[in-house]
Amino acid sequence: MTTSHSQVLILGAASDIGIAIAREYAKAGHSLVLAARNVSRLETNAEDIRIRYRVSVSTLEWDVLSANGGAPDILVLSNLPDIVICVVGLLGDQAASERDAQTAEHVMRANYVGPALVLGELANRLEERGSGCIIGISSVAGDRGRASNYIYGAAKAGFTAFLSGLRNRLACKGVHVLTVKPGFVKTRMTAGMPLPKLLTAEPSEVAQAVLAAASRRKDVVYVRPIWRWIMLIICAIPERVFKKMRI
């Protein structure tokens, strides 16, 4: 459902990608509920969107790391949204995650456990209503485990599988589920990383891809199509060879 009168709930809206998606949906005429752990970080952008696009924008304090992915906090909304977009993500530090179980758990909960729990609760309500759209921002890192980021990649792989199963479950229930795989994105989270220009999207590019893919009711979208072919090649490399590559 993507009419100009839809209400869009964005989870993790304080991120660069979250704000870009909020602007893109507001530009299309949608009202917004922006949810994030630190609401104060949202207020300036929320007010700018209200003025610039003349749409309703409300904010909600929400923490994906709280019990049940913060589902109880989200379910206090007076109106069930038409579109739910989960932009939550934490890259973390692979070396630190290898050394400390709590650090690894934090990355796993932020990228998979929390998002899956809250989207599962929202999915149940959308299924009861018989309409809606759930959009999850996953990652190409989940397509195959790599030595350089397998904690983050494993969490995103779990999230991708969760979205795939949810899509299958809700296919005949009037609820569309979209998985988005951005690849590298130029954000605060990747600041300082030597990102290849050809493979790196801007947050606004991700936002445009999300809106277009949801409108066309796609199941999975790679923001830059080249990533689909890159990951096909990476996934096709025999394990005995892959172990020697250390990528």
Active site residues: 152
125 burial class (0-12, 13-18, 19+ CB within 10 angstroms)? middle
Residue from 231, 236, 15 nearest 140 by CA: 231
Using the structure block, give the residue that is written with the tokens 């964005």.
10
Q: 227 with 186: CB under 8 angstroms?
A: no
Backbone angles phi, psi at 80, to 5 degrees: -70, 125
List all residues 6 or more positions away from 96 whose beta carbon is below 8 Å from its beta carbon.
Answer: 103
Q: How far apart are CA 147 and CA 236, in angstroms?
A: 16
Using the structure block, give the residue that is written with the tokens 């007010």.
47
Q: Which amino acid would we find at residue 99?
A: R
Q: Which helix (H) or strand (E) holds 35?
A: strand 31-36
**Looking at the DSSP assignment, which residues form a beta bridge with residue 136?**
86, 179
Pairing of strands 132-137, 83-86: parallel
List all residues 6 or more positions away from 40 whose beta carbon is below 8 Å from its beta carbon.
Answer: none
